[in-house]
Amino acid sequence: MNDQTYFLTNAAHELQTLLSLLCSSIQAIEAAHPEVRCYRYWPELSSDCRLMTKLLRDLTDYSMSDQLTKQRSDLCNLLRRAYLSCLPLTEGTNKTLTYTSRVSCAYMPLDSPKMMEALLNLIVNALDAVSDNGSVQIILTKSNEQFVVSIIDDGCGIAPKQLLTIFHPFTTTKPDGTGLGLPVAKRIIEGHGGHIRVISAPNQGATFTFLLPCSFSSDRK
């Protein structure tokens, strides 16, 4: 862990502790005096505390995203778990989420919790981008000794200018976003020896594709 990562991680931890106390105090005040919810700026205060908590959590994730502990794991199984974790997000809508694997297994050195974090960031972003009748596909294939994961949505797409900075920290178009989800995913994927790219245009959906080296053969003899 370099000095910058150490500083960011510890600073974020200390700030999270103080912010947790502040949030707890706000909740205690609301419980004892429900009328404060009607006070001017009180809803904004509560909302800002939640956003700051999320920002600090995401900042910690970003600073630690390249600190990996890898074990031999099956990417197929990890993708299926990510798919099942995100499936409840389609409940109450007409959104569809599908997972297709064109390989029987995909063993490689993985930090499974970190890679799961990257996958969830990408899938949730895709689901957020589509309409209530939209679809998101997760596809795993193999090409030239690399596993290829594609997350395809038919949502609003991404403007060319945004594509230039989409993986930069703190770049977001969401009102409650921190702009760290995609940078975290990118760092985790690169920490596994892979790389990620995105193809998109306004009103034409988006395809996020990342490639990971096949360090273990999926067709073991």
Left if phi > 0, otherwise alpha if psi is -120 to 50, otherwise beta: which for 143? beta
Check pLDDT > 70 for residue 217. no
Structure tokens at 136: 């998101």
Cα–Cα separations (whole angstroms), residue 38 to 17, 28, 52, 68: 28, 16, 22, 46
Tens digit of pLDDT for each residue in 150-207? 999 999 999 898 888 888 877 777 766 667 789 889 999 999 999 999 999 998 999 9
Tens digit of pLDDT for each residue in 106-163? 999 999 989 998 999 999 999 999 999 999 999 999 998 899 999 999 999 998 988 8
Cβ atoms 137, 152 nearer than 8 A: yes
Tens digit of pLDDT for each residue in 6-19? 566 666 666 777 77
